[in-house]
Amino acid sequence: MSGFGRSNLSLAAQAIPQPGPGEVLVKVAAVSLNYRDRLVVENGMGMPLAFPFTPGSDLAGEVVATGPGVHRFASGNRVISNFVPAWLDGELSRIDGPYGPALGAPLPGVLSEYVVMKEDGLITAPASLDAVEASTLPVAGLTAWFALVELGGLKAGQSVLLQGTGGVSLFGLQIAAAHGAEIIITSGNAEKLQRAQALVGKGAIMRGIDRSRTPDWGAEAQRLTGGRGVDHLLEVAAGDLTQSLAAMKPGGRISAIGIIDSFEFKLAALPLLVKHVVLQGIFVGHRRALEDLAQAVDHLQLKPVIDRVYDFAELPAALDHLERGPFGKLVLRLR
């Protein structure tokens, strides 16, 4: 990127970087796109980026060289990136500025054939996934896992409400189904609801709410849970949380993870207070949780839902698709 806006995107030839102490050189095989990447290209999400800037937040690739002192990886190892490279476990102890130390803004991104990264900012890719599939875990997969499992303590028999059929929501659907939770998913597209139903398999309980026909979907979620309300809700839209609060059970948890509709939240204080609802912000997650997710993916044989794979040079078309709203993830394959 030579500046903000898609007209300032271009492919540029650069010298292959060399790893320094504690660093590895990764040959990138695939980069999955997130809604955040579209915003970074358009306006940086308000961040003062230094141009030229490389976008992209999550990669899968292979280590091809190591710098002095590297001990976690060797050449030939398959790896995926951690969105916040320095966040290894526990609390995120330091955030410089309002946007956090994340790949793809404000840190340089990964849409490049080769990248150098600190070895601590990578984990071993799941053995059961190819590079295209594995590239979807660092942001979308980990966000859903961190909200539901790491912080949410998801249990069998609980209920999970998911908004839409984007990457995070469909990961949440698969994670919830694997944990024996009841699932409610909202969408304005009836065909996408049918496709989501096919993902949960036999034995899992999933109900869909067509928002185009049922705008008061919070009350419908209450009805579908027998008046109990839902235990967990992944809030991907932001903006007005009236329906989200209406859907919750007393003591339920709203995990705020997205900004599709707005950069602000609007909510009535009384329902939040009376219901003792927990409103938890989610900034993807730490490396240890990503390692837990990778192990679970192999154990459960979980397969990420990928709408389409684009070639590296097709980034503008992929961004257009991202804006239209994919079913699952979009991935760029680097040849």
Distance from the first to the final alpha carbon of the chain: 20
SS3 call for 228: coil
Phi-psi region of 86 (alpha: psi -120 to 50; beta: other; left: phi over 0): alpha
SS3 call for 123: strand
pLDDT in tens, 122-157: 999 999 999 999 999 999 999 999 999 999 999 999
SS3 call for 56: coil
Compute the C-alpha angle 76/80/85, nearest 5°. Answer: 120
For residue 202, the model assigns a pLDDT of: 73
Q: Is the model's pLDDT at 95 over the cut of 80?
A: no
Contacts of 59 (CB under 8 A, 6+ apart): 26, 28, 29, 30, 31, 80, 81, 110, 115, 135, 138
Q: What percent of the chain has pLDDT over 70?
A: 97
Give the residue from 208, 204, 176 showing the smallest Cα distance to 191. 208
Cis peptide before 52 (omega within 30 of 0): yes
pLDDT confidence tier of residue 14, bands split at 50, 70 and 90:
very high
For residue 239, the model assigns a pLDDT of: 84
DSSP symbols for 268-322:
-HHHHHHTT-EEEE-----HHHHHHHHHHHHHHT----EEEEEEGGGHHHHHHHH
Q: Is the model's pLDDT at 310 over the cut of 80?
A: yes
Q: Which sign does the torsion angle of CA 170, 171, 173, 178 carry?
A: positive
Domain 152-281 sits in CATH at 3.40.50.720
- State how far the Cα of 28 lies from the Cα of 96, in Å rounded to an integer: 28
Q: What percent of the chain has pLDDT over 90?
A: 86
Q: Is the model's pLDDT at 94 over the cut of 70?
A: no
pLDDT in tens, 37-68: 999 999 998 888 999 999 999 999 999 999 99
| Average pLDDT of the residues in 236-260 | 90
For residue 97, the model assigns a pLDDT of: 57
Q: In this structure, are residues 149 and 179 in contact, taking their beta carbons and an 8 Å threshold?
A: yes
SS3 call for 172: helix
pLDDT in tens, 178-233: 999 999 999 999 999 999 988 887 778 899 999 999 999 999 999 999 999 999 99
Average pLDDT in the chain: 94
For residue 265, the model assigns a pLDDT of: 83
For residue 154, the model assigns a pLDDT of: 97
DSSP assignment letter at 142: H
| Average pLDDT of the residues in 106-114 | 96
Residue in the structure block whose two tokens are 């490279």: 85
Angle subtended by helix axes 35-43 and 315-324, to nearest 10: 120
pLDDT in tens, 16-33: 999 999 999 999 999 999
Class of domain 6-139+285-333: alpha beta
Torsion of CA 300, 152, 246, 175, to 10 degrees: -10
Where are the chain's structural domains? Answer: 6-139+285-333, 152-281
- State how far the Cα of 22 lies from the Cα of 42, in Å rounded to an integer: 33
